[in-house]
Structures are given as structure tokens and as C-alpha cells.
Amino acid sequence: MKTISDIEDLRRIAARRVPRMFYDFVDSGSWTEQTYQLNQTSFKEILLRQRVGRSIDGRSLKSKMLGVDVSMPVAIAPIGLAGMVHADGEILAAKAAVAAGVRYTLSTLSIASLEDIQRATDAPFWFQLYVMRDKQFLLSLIDRAKAAGCDALILTLDLSVLGNRFKDAKNGLSTPPKLTISSLSNMLTKPKWCMGMLRTHRRNLGNIIGHAKGVGDVHSLSGWIGQQLNPALSWKDIEWIKARWGGKLVVKGLLDAEDAQTAVLAGADAIIVSNHGGRQLDGAPASVAVLPEIVDKVGRATEVWIDGGIRSGQDVLKAIALGARGALIGRAHLWGLGAYGEEGVKLALELIRKELDLTMAFCGHTDINSVDRSVLMERTIPRTDYCVA
Ligand code: FNR
């Protein structure tokens, strides 16, 4: 393995190893990709306050998310089709998360199924639910998540309609993918990826095929997914889903302080400030830009987590300093996965852990749970009147 210094190194290797169609699926946002880019640049604009002359011996990153011990306040975000970035991708990422002492979230639209992850890790994980129109299927998914040992349900609310992602349309990324001569010949230049895919039987949406009515194979799937996005989804649905689930419920995809308050009233045990990694509403603010205002509004009533643009431990520290109790990583772990499979995800998590630890030390702290806004240069903190007049 080459010397890997940061997540950007992993991204460069993934770009060489993963077929263009799936690499672009990951490294893209919707429309002009303004929000996708803002997620990262907004973290860079926040500057850290170096402190000296304090003992920084005996540091700890241990924390809790939803009352569960984690080795650092980081978790893996739900990713649809992660099993196309690398064969058995979700299983490998979930194993890496267990080894690192952090939580893994499985997407409804994953290639590996809930049961695959349970068998491979035998450890609790989180399940992300898309609220589809087929209520019977929804109920069965909730029950399967319980049976698989998931101890939190993450409800994604920002995908009732689909953002327009130009690269996917150009690359023919649909379900099933439209394989053109150019995409096929590109795949053939990625022999390790091809071998992995030939060896595994997991190439379909494992939570859906054979479980949803009328979806027996990949060809019936595309029509089904098109019909299943649910534009009628509303806060009322949260209540019955929470009642059916009966466990910890996390609401994902919030960018507005008023919506955050509504989520708390609907019973969210945690919320995720997120713009879906810039893949839905282009022109929306960066997640970190609205984090302070949302923390001000609901941070005492619920756990506020964040995702979007986190590429380093420094970004995690900034999010925690602004009041987040956890940070989820999407692309940062996918690039590790695309580069080196399970080892790559472990590497991504270790890079983030080391950067977080050292940055915390430079800022004069020894316990991640005591980090607050004072580690940031005050004038670079995003203003807190973004959402509410
Ligand atoms: C996602 N995301 C996502 N979210 C979700 O709730 N369910 C899903 O199935 C997916 N699928 C998905 C696929 C891909 C390729 C990406 C990049 C993202 C959004 C994801 O959970 C998270 O919000 C973002 O990835 C966070 O941004 P970063 O860390 O990727 O910048």
C-alpha cells in the first residue's frame, strides 16, 4: 500500500480503481454542485485557535452517540449502492466501523441486506429508512431492522423528490445501469473491481429484491423505485413510524431551525443537519453554515449531528466545537472503500481519528467532550441568523 497522508490520497486512488460510472456517482452533487462544494469550503473558512502552555497529556476522544459508547464522535453515513464502489462494500465498511469502535449506518438502497450486515458483524448498527409508498414493505423493513439488531432508525426526509444529478444521467447510472460500450470498456480497465464483482453474488439492492411485492429481479426494480418516492411524506408519518419502531429515532436531512424544532416535537432522539452531501437541493447552504443556529434552537432538547463535507479530523473538531454531538462521513469512507476495501475504510477512520486528536491537542484540550466554540476563531464562526428572520 502506498503512503497515504489524507482522505484526498484515498480519493485519488479510488478514482483509478472504481469504474467511472460509480466513481462519478460518489464524487458529484446535483445541478451546478454549488452546495456540494460549499460543504467543504465552509469548513475551511472556520479557523482554529491555537493555545499553548497547557498540559495536553492523556487525551481522549471517547464519547457517546445516542447513549452508546463510541471511540470518537464519528459514524458512517448511509450510502445507497456502496456495494458498487467495491464488491460487498457495505459489509466491508461495517466491519471496519466495528473494528474502529464507531457506528455503521446501512442504507435502504444498499446492495448488502440488513441480514448480510448482521451475519458479517454480529454487532449493532443503524438502519436508514426511506419512507416509500408501499406501506407493507415499509413495515416489513422496520421489523427486519429490529430483527437484525439495529438499535437506531435513521429517517431521511430530504429525498421525497430526486435532485438532478447530471453525471449519473450522462453515465447511464440507472437501475439497472445502462451499460454502453464506453462504460463497459471503462470497467474492463479496473480488473480488481471486476474480479470482486464476479466473485460476489451481491449486485442488486439486497433490502428490496425478493422482499418488496412485485420486485423479483433488477429489471422490475427500476419501475418500482420510480413509483416509490413519496412526495406526500410529512411529519405525521414520523409519529407512526416511531410508534412501530419503538426504539431510538434519528431524523436526517434538516437545514432549518424551525424544521429541527418540529422534528424534536415529533419525537426525534437525534437530528442530522444535512443536505444529503449536496446531492438534493443545489443552492442550499453548507450543513456547517446552519449548524450553530440549529444547535442554538434545539441543542438542549436533542442530540444534533452533522454530515456534509467532512474530509478530516479537523472538520470533525470544528463541528463538535459548534455544538454537534456527532459527525457522519459519507465520501470520506467511500474513497477508502474504493481504494482498498475494508482496509481503506479502516485507514480513512484512523486518519480522521489522528487528525482529530492532534488538532484537539493544538487547541489545548484533552477531552473531546469539553471542546466548545472557544477552540475556534470567533470571527470565522458562521453567523447564526441564516434560517429564521
Ligand atoms: C448518499 N447519501 C445518502 N443518504 C441517505 O440517507 N440514504 C442514502 O441511500 C444515501 N445515498 C448516498 C449515496 C452517495 C453516493 C452519497 C455520496 C451520499 C447521503 C449521505 O448519507 C450523507 O448525507 C452525505 O454523504 C454526507 O456528505 P459527505 O460526507 O459525503 O460529504
Q: Give yes or no for residue 278 CB within 6 A of ligand 1.
A: no
Domains and CATH numbers, the chain: 7-376 (3.20.20.70)
Q: What is the pLDDT of residues 54-79, one digit of tens each?
A: 999 999 999 999 999 999 999 999 99
Residue 388 pLDDT: 54
| Percentage of residues in the chain having pLDDT higher than 70 | 99
Q: Look at residues 325, 306, 330 and name the one whose alpha carbon lies nearest to residue 382.
A: 306
| Higher per-residue confidence, 105 vs 222 | 105
Q: How far is the CA of 302 from the centre of ligand 1 (A)?
A: 22
Residue 386 pLDDT: 66
Q: What is the pLDDT of residues 119-155, one digit of tens each?
A: 999 999 999 999 999 999 999 999 999 999 999 999 9
Residue 2 pLDDT: 83
Atom of ligand 1 at shortest distance to CA of 272? Answer: 23
Residue 389 has pLDDT above 70, yes or no: no
Residue 215 pLDDT: 86
From CA 80, how far away is CA 62, in angstroms rounded? 29
* Assigned C-alpha cell, 19: 469504474
Q: How far is the CA of 77 from the centre of ligand 1 (A)?
A: 6
From CA 105, how far away is CA 102, in angstroms rounded? 10
From CA 193, how far away is CA 174, in angstroms rounded? 19
Residue 177 pLDDT: 77
Q: Give yes or no for residue 280 CB within 6 A of ligand 1.
A: no
* Assigned C-alpha cell, 270: 437525534
Mean pLDDT on 187-205: 96
Residue 39 has pLDDT above 60, yes or no: yes
Pick from 91-105, 135-149, 207-221, 315-329: least confident? 207-221
Residue from 225, 279, 287 to probe ligand 1 pocket by mutation (most atoms less than 8 Å from CB): 279
Residue 372 has pLDDT above 80, yes or no: yes
Residue from 84, 86, 107 to probe ligand 1 pocket by mutation (most atoms less than 8 Å from CB): 107
Name the H helices within the chain: 7-17, 20-26, 34-45, 82-85, 89-100, 114-121, 135-147, 166-171, 181-188, 191-199, 218-228, 235-245, 257-265, 287-298, 313-321, 331-362
Nearest CA to ligand 1 atom 3: 79
Q: How far is the CA of 324 from the centre of ligand 1 (A)?
A: 18
Q: Give yes or no for residue 89 CB within 6 A of ligand 1.
A: no
From CA 335, how far away is CA 314, in angstroms rounded? 18
Q: What is the model's pTM?
A: 0.97
Pick from 183-187, 279-283, 375-379: least confident? 183-187
- pLDDT category, 383, cuts 50, 70, 90? confident
Q: Which residues of 147-173 are buried (b: 16+ CB within 10 A; e: fewer)?
A: ebebbbbbbbbbbbeebebebbeebeb
Which residues are annotated as catalytic?
276
Residue from 74, 167, 276 to probe ligand 1 pocket by mutation (most atoms less than 8 Å from CB): 276
From CA 351, how far away is CA 346, in angstroms rounded? 9
Q: Give yes or no for residue 78 CB within 6 A of ligand 1.
A: yes
Nearest CA to ligand 1 atom 18: 79
Nearest CA to ligand 1 atom 25: 330
Q: Give yes or no for residue 29 CB within 6 A of ligand 1.
A: no
| Higher per-residue confidence, 387 vs 10 | 10
